[in-house]
Amino acid sequence: MSDSAITQMTTRQRKADGLMIRYADSEGGGDETVLLLNPWPESLFAWETIWSPLAQTARLVAIDLPGFGHSEGRADLLSPRAMGSFLLHLINEWGLGHPHVVGPDVGTGAVLFAASEDVDLLPSAVVGSGGASFPLEVTGPLKEIIEAPDLSGYRALDGRDIVAGALEGIERHTLSEAAREDYLTSYAGDRFVESAAYVRSYPSDLPVLAERLGDIQTPVQIIAGRHDPLVPPSNAEFLHERLPHSKLDILETGHYTWEDGADNYLKLTRSWIEAHRTARSRG
């Protein structure tokens, strides 16, 4: 993909819950609205590959969650449960109506918590590749970050270097230079360590989420990578077994399904949105 693709996602800033949030808005594409959340340690430019074709289906609004990407952060929001409440606040404050939400990776728990708090708000959701099971099942560097007594060892490193290492896990997709630099600058200095507080809350938040899954009425498409070295597909299976209205697809990729499996990710996401269109019926 050429760097010109990233220019199709023009970023802006707008406040939500008192924080300055970076976002991109396709400003068109039909009656439906799709809210896209950044994976970690990436930014909203994780969606550059599928942005243009998906924008033909719906209006797209991509955001960097608080404390991630280039959005302002706040310590009390760095957990899936708190981030779920933030999403509800943002949707209401920005007048997004009833958006479909696509939130892989760290977005998984936030989206599901939001769906559990307001059972009528989201017509559909796409999640996966994020820690979701209880007991927790994660591996590799993610497990190390979550279980470390403290993050002093990581604080001695520049976040750019940590992210550069993490991006080596992208196996097939070639990042545009603009997207790669955006990922690196998003977590430079202490930003990576600060954002890590989110995943370190998994042991306390995921047991709560597990109890709520059976009550979630939102139709959920779960997408996971069969060869994910950080979040085994057992997390996706855990969700699929407990969510009343869910569909599971496991792609032949590693962790970065939205980039390494972009064609399939786009197809599954677009078909899920089309199958759960609501704008016309809501008038």
| SS3 track for the chain | CCHHHHHHCCEEEEEECCEEEEEEECCCCCCCEEEEECCCCCCHHHHHHHHHHHHCCCEEEEECCCCCCCCCCCHHHCCHHHHHHHHHHHHHHCCCCCCEEECCCCHHHHHHHHHHHCCCCCCCEEECCCCCCCCCCCCHHHHHHHHCCCCHHHHCCCHHHHHHHHHHHCCCCCCCHHHHHHHHHHCCCCHHHHHCCCHHHHHHHHHHHHHHHHHCCCCEEEEEECCCCCCCCHHHHHHHHHCCCEEEEEECCCCCHHHHCHHHHHHHHHHHHHHCCCHHHHC
pTM for the model stands at 0.95
pLDDT per residue rounded down to tens, the chain (283 residues): 333 344 479 999 999 999 999 999 999 767 899 999 999 999 999 999 999 999 998 999 999 999 999 999 999 999 999 999 999 999 999 999 999 999 999 999 999 999 999 999 999 999 999 999 999 999 999 999 999 999 999 999 999 999 999 999 999 999 999 999 999 999 999 999 999 999 999 999 999 999 999 999 999 999 999 999 999 999 999 999 999 999 999 999 999 999 999 999 999 999 999 999 974 444 3
